[in-house]
Amino acid sequence: THKFWSTQPVPQLGEAAYEEDGYIEAPKPSEEVRQDPYPLPKEFVWSTLDLTDDAQLRELWELLSANYVEDDDASFRFQYSAEFLRWALQPPGYHKEWHVGVRVASNKKLVAFVAAFPINLRVRANLLRASEVNFLCVHKKLRSKRLAPVLIKEVTRQCHLKGVFQALYTAGALLPTPVSTCRYNHRCLNIPKLVNVRFTYVPSNMTLARMIRINKVPEHPRLLDRGLREMEEKDLLEVAALYAKYMQRFDMRLEFTSEEVRHHFLSGRGEGPGEKESWKKPRPGQVVWTYVIENPTTHKITDFFSFYSLPSSIIGHPKHDVLNAAYLYYYATDVAFEEGAEESGRLKKRLEELIGDCLSVADQAKFDVVNGLSLMDNRYFLQDLKFGLGDGLLNFYLFNWRTAPLAGLNAVGGTD
């Protein structure tokens, strides 16, 4: 029984089949939307965060660093960087009213937060002007007091005020009702450290030395001499077109304008490319890495891949305090558009080369592990590139939209 979720426009668990895709609650004109904020317990006040202000960005970073998502046995906690939060929460067209904070009235301490930002979400035949909701967090000392439902209702109200009535969100928690469920997979790179912090272990039929050896990735990306390089501003329109065409393979996806492509793949990158062999360096403060393959003769962009940096703090370890994790983000290859590319195994081969190089780049940039979800075309390479099945699940949810469940592989990527 879900006291809160049973009152919301989401498919309820075990609900009967429905007729066709569509909303659960009709949209309403903004005059009919509730005009004042939902009431909070009297010791708290609402506070819209201005994330262009470094002091407020830092307050959010502090709240999340100590109180955001942990794994089941509380060994690791996501530690989004301030640069990441700036990047993730201020894409083109963002609304600062959708950065909803709660402060203690007496001392103004930030104790809870939830964020939304606008997306164009394709779900099968429909294109929805929706929001993506993320970073829901209540301070550890204020848990189980039903603050989360108030935050969710308030961010929903703020979306309604802007004429947005659907949302996409992901959570490890099982709620009514996932549209898709994905599994995390992990490609271990820094074996000694990952064993030391108990992220992984040496199987009984193996030695540490052997485990290190079989998990070595090539130092030089294999596609370097076939035109692999960092994405640049001049690639924007080609990458946008390649992304759009490739993503048509999936029933649910985000549609990106070229402004959004610039934001997601180029901004948040710190220094940027240009330097020779720049891929070899760790880049503190960099959030996203994007590489393209430019065909050396035609100069067309044929492929790209990207990943983002999302460290976790290692809770209570004497030697290591941060796990440097890279997360696979979007990729595409024009091999997918060739006749028979899937049946012949050519798509699988290309993706193995492409993401194999992604592992080399991540390794050289000193990431300890690369994580990937069981979505998009990842099933073609996860196993052969030695990703191991994780125990974490990520559920995808749609707010106020019905559609048949999507196969675990047909879902958009999030930034969790």
Binding positions for Mg ion, rule: CB under 5 A: 138, 145, 147
**Which one, 108 or 145, has the nearer CB to Mg ion?**
145
Q: Which partner, Mg ion, ligand YNC, none, binds residue 159 by CB below 5 to 8 Å per kind?
A: ligand YNC
**Which one, 138 or 252, has the nearer CB to Mg ion?**
138
Instruction: Compute the least distance from the CB of residue 60 to Mg ion, in Å.
Output: 18
Contact present, 402 and 22 (Cβ < 8 Å): yes
**Which one, 137 or 292, has the nearer CB to Mg ion?**
137
Contact present, 304 and 293 (Cβ < 8 Å): yes
Using the Cα atoms of residue 53, residue 91, residue 290 and residue 373 in order, give the sign of their dihedral.
positive
**Which one, 4 or 337, has the nearer CB to Mg ion?**
4
Contacts with 248 (C-beta within 8 Å, 6 or more apart), sequence order: none
Instruction: Compute the least distance from the CB of residue 170 to ligand YNC, in Å.
Output: 6
CA 184, CA 370: separation in Å to the nearest integer? 10
Distance of CA 85 to the CA centre of its chain: 12
Half-sphere exposure (Cβ direction) of 80: Cα atoms closer than 13 Å: 25
Two structure tokens written together for 187: 């490609």
Number of Cβ atoms within 10 Å of the Cβ of 119: 22
Contact present, 335 and 346 (Cβ < 8 Å): yes
What is the pairing mode between strands 322-323 and 312-314? antiparallel
Instruction: Compute the least distance from the CB of residue 404 to ligand YNC, in Å.
Output: 20
Instruction: Compute the least distance from the CB of residue 150 to Mg ion, in Å.
Output: 9
Instruction: Compute the least distance from the CB of residue 35 to ligand YNC, in Å.
Output: 17
Instruction: Compute the least distance from the CB of residue 143 to ligand YNC, in Å.
Output: 4
Instruction: Compute the least distance from the CB of residue 176 to ligand YNC, in Å.
Output: 8
Instruction: Compute the least distance from the CB of residue 311 to ligand YNC, in Å.
Output: 16
Two structure tokens written together for 16: 């009967």
Q: Which partner, Mg ion, ligand YNC, none, binds residue 399 by CB below 5 to 8 Å per kind?
A: ligand YNC
**Which one, 102 or 335, has the nearer CB to ligand YNC?**
102
Phi, psi of 391 (to 5 degrees): -100, -5
**Which one, 133 or 370, has the nearer CB to ligand YNC?**
133
Q: Which partner, Mg ion, ligand YNC, none, binds residue 173 by CB below 5 to 8 Å per kind?
A: ligand YNC
**Which one, 3 or 299, has the nearer CB to ligand YNC?**
3
Q: Which residues bind ligand YNC (CB under 6 A)?
A: 2-5, 67-69, 116, 131, 133-138, 143-149, 152, 155-156, 159, 164-167, 169, 171, 173, 175, 399
Q: How many residues comprise the chain?
A: 416
Contact present, 171 and 373 (Cβ < 8 Å): no
**Which one, 166 or 378, has the nearer CB to ligand YNC?**
166
Two structure tokens written together for 44: 């708290």
Strands (E), 31-190: 44-48, 76-78, 99-104, 110-123, 126-138, 167-171, 180-188
Two structure tokens written together for 360: 């080399």
Q: Which partner, ligand YNC, Mg ion, none, binds residue 164 by CB below 5 to 8 Å per kind?
A: ligand YNC
